[in-house]
Amino acid sequence: MKAESSPSRFYCRVVRQWFSPAGASRHAESCADCRRYFQAVAHLESALRRDAVRFAPPAPAGLEQGIMRTIRAAAVPARRRPRPHPAWIASGSFVGIAAVALAVFLVQVPRTVKTDGVAGNQPSSRSAATGDSLSDQLFNAVVPPAGDLVANNPLQNELDSVYTGARSALDFLALNFMPASGLTLSRAASSTGKG
Amino acid sequence: MIALLSPTHAEEVPPPAETATEDGALVRATLDADPTAFEEIVRRHSRRVYNFLHQFTRHHHDAEDLTQQTFLKAYQNLHRFDRSRPLINWLFTIARRSALNHFRAAKKWEEMPEDAASESPSPARRTESSDEAENLWNRAREVLSPREYEVLWLRFAEELSTEETARIAGLTVTHVKVLVHRARQQLMKGAMPS
């Protein structure tokens, strides 16, 4: 053994590190050292396999039932869990934005109509007088017909009458049941005068 | 010489094809809402998973809790399972991650000996201790690093191939071979000439 050249020893190391006992059988036939080594390895591996079975810890009673109980308690199906769909989110967002835009439109339109009424239904001349930009003038050129349409809208007329009725009722209640103050009296007097 | 150096795969023992096929069918049945299919998977593999986790934790309750967690995660992510691979390997991967997370959270990477609290061991415990002295895995736990021990366990106790062991442990095949070789050397120290 001592006479073995260093390349041979190196080769033995390579074989021992990278080969299984079966893979190194040809080399082991010609090398007694490696043969002994691989016999010891085979013995060790079989002992490891044997002891893994022999000293396996007993599974606790009810292990399987416990697992199934945990799964049922979690109550999550094995199928893919439903996730929020991106298309659904997009359509929801679109509906929200559309609702906000509609609300803004409904709030803005009555003001426009009222302003136009005060100004004598001459939006083009008003825009020119106030020196609006070209884009505003273009916008106003398009909007007035729409404003006229809304002004003649029966729903809008109904809303206006409801608003007027509610306002009158509030004024009546304030005049008769609220403690008298200078402000209240003056508002009541002015509304009475208008009426 | 070159022929000798070519790697051999004679040692790589693939899992029984029947088991893999049956596991695949059970997974499919579970995904098709068969209530008994997953119970069968649990019945087949829970003991092995528990045993594997017991090697990590050395504690019955921790191993049991982690086994439950492992199967719960497996159930919830069953649609991600690659049916071309053995189910037990996937379960080992989940179990290993669960155990590592558990130790990271508890900050107790050091193994806790069982029955550490009891001052005087009972007769049953003494018998168990004498058995443990014979157990080669106990010696392995003393002389090997946790990673060497884990690789050795997967390789020889679970009878996995080097490739499967590498995949579960998150290592390269070369690294696994080096660790196995080192572990063997450690365990055979004194018994064999170098």
ipTM, 2 dp = 0.74
A interface test, pick of B184, B186, B189, B194 with most A CB neighbours within 10 Å: B184
Question: What pLDDT is stored for residue B151 in this prediction?
Answer: 94
Name the residue of chain A whose CA is nearest to B191's CA: A40
Higher pLDDT, B28 or A128: B28
CA pair distance B56, B48, nearest whole angstrom: 13
Does the pLDDT value for residue A193 go beyond 70? Answer: no
Query: Does the pLDDT of residue B84 top 70, yes or no?
Result: yes
pLDDT digits (tens, 9 = 90+) for B31-45: 988 888 999 999 999
User: pLDDT, tens digit, for every residue of B18-68?
Assistant: 677 788 889 999 998 888 899 999 999 999 999 999 988 888 999 999 999
Assign A106 a pLDDT band (cuts: 50, 70, 90): confident
Contacts of A51 in chain B (CB under 8 A): 134-137
**Position with higher pLDDT, B5 vs A70:** A70
Whether A108 and A143 have beta carbons less than 8 Å apart is answered as no
CA distances from B84 to B73, B88, B98, B178 (A): 19, 12, 23, 28
pTM metric for this prediction: 0.57
Q: What's the pLDDT band for B14 if we cut at 50, 70, 90?
A: very low
Q: Is A180 left (phi over 0), alpha (psi -120 to 50) or beta?
A: beta
B35 interfacial to chain A (CB closer than 8 Å): no
